[in-house]
Homo-oligomer: A and B are copies of this chain.
């Protein structure tokens, strides 16, 4: 089990009299990720509306802020005990056997134009044996072909752009991997979170984006940017791509500042809390879905 403690500080200058915002900053609640403690502080006297998605554990927050400065601080401690599975036991599933809830994740989405990646996916991965290793091959292919370059992409950069440019940040790696997986008829989705264990040379801790692919009825974690060990990923938002799971979506004229994030892993052998480390097994932190 991994215990991670983190804080997120967000700051906005609201220009309009009021401004709606949607946040994905609460730690998700799933069978494998428990929120031990959490606290939300807002500098404005607004009443946020919190909605927990029963399927994916995401906790969307909406609020209407007033003109002036908006400050949020969210603190949480989570325990994560991944479902672990040996790669050779993980199988790709035919469309006809997928849980209904997985179906939205086989279609193309804003940033993952899988419809246009079918030929490439078939050429690169079509002859491989289906299963966990094939998905790993997709992950490594993306990792090898894309260079992580801060500032090399923007809000409208899609999987096709990243494929051509060969550069991107974590969300771009995720979009390209998702696009390729869906082009192979594999349900794949976007997860946003915070990562523990990234190389400090990569800059200050930031939100992270990674991928889940459904195998044998569960969603397994893959991080094509390989920025941190998947075991160190705190799960926050889930969606088809970054359009759904942005940490903040702002509906108005707002000046935004870089988020300030701090994360630590708490090690305590007596409690069974170990540090996140790389692991060859399949890891899942999402609810198990009953097939149907």
Q: Which residues on A are within 8 Å of B, measured CB to CB?
A: 20, 22, 49, 51, 60, 62-64, 94-96, 100, 103-104, 107-110, 112-113, 115-117, 119-120, 123, 145, 155-156, 160, 163-167, 185, 240, 243-244, 249, 251, 292
Q: How far is the CA of A145 from the CA of B164 in the complex (A)?
A: 15
| Copies of this chain in the oligomer | 4
Q: How far is the CA of A170 from the CA of B26 in the complex (A)?
A: 40
Nearest CB on B from A87, distance (A): 24
Asked whether, in the complex, the Cβ of B120 is within 8 Å of the Cβ of A20, the reply is: no
* A63 and B96 contact, Cβ closer than 8 Å, known pairs A160-B164, A251-B185: yes
* A165 and B115 contact, Cβ closer than 8 Å, known pairs A20-B94, A95-B251: no
With a CB–CB cut-off of 8 A, which chain B residues contact A164?
A: 116-117, 120, 160, 163-164
Nearest CB on B from A93, distance (A): 10
With a CB–CB cut-off of 8 A, which chain B residues contact A104?
A: 244
Q: How far is the CA of A20 from the CA of B186 in the complex (A)?
A: 13
Closest B residue by C-beta to A158:
B113
With a CB–CB cut-off of 8 A, which chain B residues contact A112?
A: 110
Asked whether, in the complex, the Cβ of A165 is within 8 Å of the Cβ of B95, the reply is: no
Nearest CB on B from A290, distance (A): 13
Asked whether, in the complex, the Cβ of A119 is within 8 Å of the Cβ of B165, the reply is: yes
Closest B residue by C-beta to A145:
B123
Q: How far is the CA of A167 from the CA of B156 in the complex (A)?
A: 14
A and B contact pairs by CB, cutoff 8 A, 25 listed:
A20-B96, A22-B95, A51-B292, A60-B100, A62-B95, A64-B94, A104-B244, A107-B249, A109-B109, A109-B110, A109-B240, A109-B243, A110-B112, A113-B156, A115-B156, A115-B243, A116-B156, A116-B165, A119-B166, A119-B167, A123-B145, A123-B166, A160-B164, A163-B164, A164-B164
